[in-house]
């Protein structure tokens, strides 16, 4: 089983890298940051050793994710079969004003400090949210790109708002305040972090 899961990891990562690499055509900060990310990518044809995590069949996002992937089977080939083995990460403390947010929004990190493919220079994964999720304003020292695969939303970056959907990219410079207000459909984004990938993101209203 674990050999099959390793194959799926690499299949999903190759698909995500291919889709993410369209950022090179976007020009500006997105293209420059995409090039940086691709430079830091491990060689997926000759990957370093990595450990497949234990399956998490009871993760609260697994059911909505599986339903979403049934409707979008070609979005990321292999992802539906890999779903029980995803390295889910959600680092925020619960919010009093949105207490079950972690059951509606999450991400799985394939490359990063705590990910199956270890890196202290690159974070790379896929985020998923159910409908009607607001990802409130937050900051982190890493530079970030979202490559939107599914769902539409209003993406706020340092006071500017853009309506984005599948095929669009969003670049967040280190410490840029950014937020996403998504509509009633599920959303899926590939994301990358470079620079300080160890310091966690935090809400800008934390402690207020
Ligand atoms: Fe971010």
Q: Per-residue pLDDT averaged across 57-75, rounded?
A: 94
Domain of residue 34: give its range.
2-203
Structure token digits, residue 118: 């270890």
User: How far, in Å, is the centroid of ligand 1 from the Cα of 139?
Assistant: 6
CATH code for the domain of 117: 2.60.120.10
User: What separation, in Å, do the N-terminal and C-terminal C-alpha atoms of the chain show?
Assistant: 47
* pLDDT range class, residue 8, cuts 50, 70, 90: very high
Å from CA of 2 to ligand 1 middle:
31
Are the C-beta atoms of 108 and 129 separated by less than 8 Å?
Answer: no
Mean pLDDT of 58-74: 94
CA 4–ligand 1 middle distance (angstroms): 32
Prediction pTM value: 0.95
Question: Tokens in use for 138?
Answer: 């937050």
Quick check: is 208 in a domain?
no
- The domain total for the chain is 1
Cα 1 to ligand 1 centre (Å): 34
């Amino acid at each position: 089983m674990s050999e099959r899961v390793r194959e799926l990891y690499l299949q999903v990562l190759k698909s995500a890298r291919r889709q993410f690499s369209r950022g090179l055509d976007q020009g500006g900060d997105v293209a420059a940051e995409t090039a940086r990310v691709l430079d830091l990518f491990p060689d997926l044809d000759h990957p370093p050793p990595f450990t497949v995590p234990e399956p998490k069949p009871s993760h609260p996002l697994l059911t909505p994710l599986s339903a979403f992937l049934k409707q979008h089977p070609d979005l990321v080939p292999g992802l539906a079969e890999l779903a029980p083995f995803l390295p889910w990460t959600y680092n925020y403390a619960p919010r009093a004003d949105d207490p079950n947010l972690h059951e509606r929004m999450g991400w799985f990190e394939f490359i990063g400090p705590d990910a199956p493919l270890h890196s202290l220079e690159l974070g790379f994964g896929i985020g998923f949210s159910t409908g009607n999720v607001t990802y409130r304003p937050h900051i982190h020292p890493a530079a970030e790109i979202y490559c939107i695969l599914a769902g539409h939303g209003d993406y706020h970056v340092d006071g500017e708002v853009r309506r984005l959907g599948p095929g669009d990219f969003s670049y967040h410079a280190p410490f840029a305040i950014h937020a996403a207000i998504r509509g009633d459909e599920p959303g899926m984004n590939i994301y990358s972090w470079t620079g300080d990938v160890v310091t966690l993101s935090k809400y800008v209203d934390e402690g207020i």
